[in-house]
């Protein structure tokens, strides 16, 4: 009797695999109407074709009949990024008849290719020659001079990690997360992303460890400390000549006005955090991956955000969902070799915009 039950279960599962393969082979995601395609994948069909063309040389090429075609793997991953559906749901809806294991493999492969192969092309911090155009846009829109971008961190939920590393990912709101640092320009183009620290890490700690902080310090030193370009950060960041923060206890009219214009100029990073989580809703739900794989998924989504913007896909207001902005307040500034110079720069900006 036991062997008959096992045999029947084997036959049932085998029939399910055959049916899923038949449905998969008959599927063509690109037959959807334009509006439906964009709602499911957050890409136009033309832009999706370009993404597939750019990724295909880096994707695994199989020989077996059961091999999942590269376009279907990429579309499956896009659907997961876009909807935030659990992987079992992604593989059982009308867009992709794939097993849960294959959905997981597709998401991991696509994320890895986006991070390792496309990220260096699509996420680049501007050179000094590119500063002027960015500064002009910020100044025209907000009146704040010298701004080359805004920086902030946002928390992305992940599943509970292994016990030996759990404390590194438990944030101050008592859930497990990655604390992701993003930098953007006024048009919400991502200029830098850092998704490797756990939720227990402070924004300032992540900034101090970032490659862009080291790059800006190096540029400041190489220019003989004659500097007129900076990022904008909130009170969770250290005041430096290359990153301007608000006055902690603004009392004078000039300081209050400075903080008001600073907040207006820095609002772009808050809009970015809200927009990217609204368009790619996997970032709103818990990522049921290891911390390392979750970081890869987050980096992949950042690449897709810039890819969309680079191909003229406007922000999707129909997907906008309010995102709570939570400022990570930092302890009072410790004496630093650059602090006095940064204070002088901030005071000079305060006077110029008063």
pLDDT in tens, 128-172: 999 999 999 999 999 999 999 999 999 999 999 999 999 999 999
| Sheet with strand 177-184: strands edge to edge | 190-194, 177-184, 147-157, 230-232, 243-244
159 vs 321, which has greater pLDDT? Answer: 159
175-205: pLDDT as tens digits: 999 999 999 999 999 999 999 999 999 999 9
> Is the pLDDT reported for residue 16 higher than 80?
no
Q: According to the model, what pLDDT value does residue 246 have?
A: 97
280-291: pLDDT as tens digits: 999 999 999 999
> Is the pLDDT reported for residue 229 higher than 90?
yes
pTM for the full model?
Answer: 0.86
13 vs 308, which has greater pLDDT? Answer: 308
Token look-up 């199989």 returns 62
Q: According to the model, what pLDDT value does residue 326 have?
A: 52
Work out the average pLDDT over 2-16.
49
Q: According to the model, what pLDDT value does residue 59 have?
A: 94
| Whether 350 contacts 254, CB under 8 Å | yes
Q: How far, in Å, CA of 263 to CA of 27, rounded?
A: 49
In 10 A of CB 56, how many CB atoms?
Answer: 13
> Is the pLDDT reported for residue 104 higher than 80?
yes
Q: How big is the chain by its Cα radius of gyration, in Å? A: 23
Three-class SS state of 308: helix
> Is the pLDDT reported for residue 117 higher than 80?
yes
The DSSP 8-state label assigned to residue 44 in this structure reads -
């Amino acid at each position: 009797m036991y062997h008959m039950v096992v045999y029947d279960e084997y036959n049932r599962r085998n029939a399910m695999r055959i049916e899923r393969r038949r449905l998969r082979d008959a599927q063509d995601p690109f037959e959807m109407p334009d509006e439906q395609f964009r709602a499911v994948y957050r890409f136009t069909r033309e832009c999706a074709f370009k993404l597939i063309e750019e990724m295909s040389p880096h994707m695994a090429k199989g020989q077996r009949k059961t091999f999942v075609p590269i376009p279907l793997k990429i579309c499956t991953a896009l659907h997961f990024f876009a909807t935030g559906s659990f992987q079992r749901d992604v593989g059982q809806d009308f867009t992709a008849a794939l097993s849960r294991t294959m959905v997981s493999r597709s998401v991991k492969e696509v994320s890895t290719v986006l991070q390792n192969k496309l990220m260096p092309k699509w996420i680049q911090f501007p050179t000094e020659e590119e500063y002027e155009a960015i500064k002009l846009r910020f100044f025209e829109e907000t009146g704040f001079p010298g701004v080359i971008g805004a920086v902030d961190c946002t928390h992305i939920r992940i599943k509970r990690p292994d016990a030996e590393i759990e404390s590194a990912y438990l944030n101050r709101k008592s859930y497990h997360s990655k604390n992701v640092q993003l930098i953007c320009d006024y048009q919400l183009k991502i200029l830098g992303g850092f998704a490797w620290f756990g939720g227990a890490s402070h924004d300032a700690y992540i900034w101090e460890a970032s490659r862009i902080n080291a790059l800006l310090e190096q540029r400041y030193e190489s220019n003989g400390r004659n500097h007129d370009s900076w990022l904008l950060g909130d009170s969770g960041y250290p005041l430096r000549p290359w990153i301007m923060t608000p006055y902690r206890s603004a009392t004078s009219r000039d300081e209050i006005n400075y903080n008001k214009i600073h907040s207006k100029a820095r609002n772009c990073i808050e809009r970015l955090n809200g927009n990217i989580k609204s368009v790619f809703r996997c970032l709103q739900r818990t990522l049921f991956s290891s911390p390392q794989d979750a970081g890869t998924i987050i980096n992949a989504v950042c690449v897709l955000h810039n890819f969309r913007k680079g191909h003229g896909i406007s922000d999707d207001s129909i997907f906008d969902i309010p995102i709570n902005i939570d400022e990570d307040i930092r302890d009072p500034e410790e004496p630093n070799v650059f602090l006095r110079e940064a204070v002088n720069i901030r005071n000079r900006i305060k006077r110029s915009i008063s």
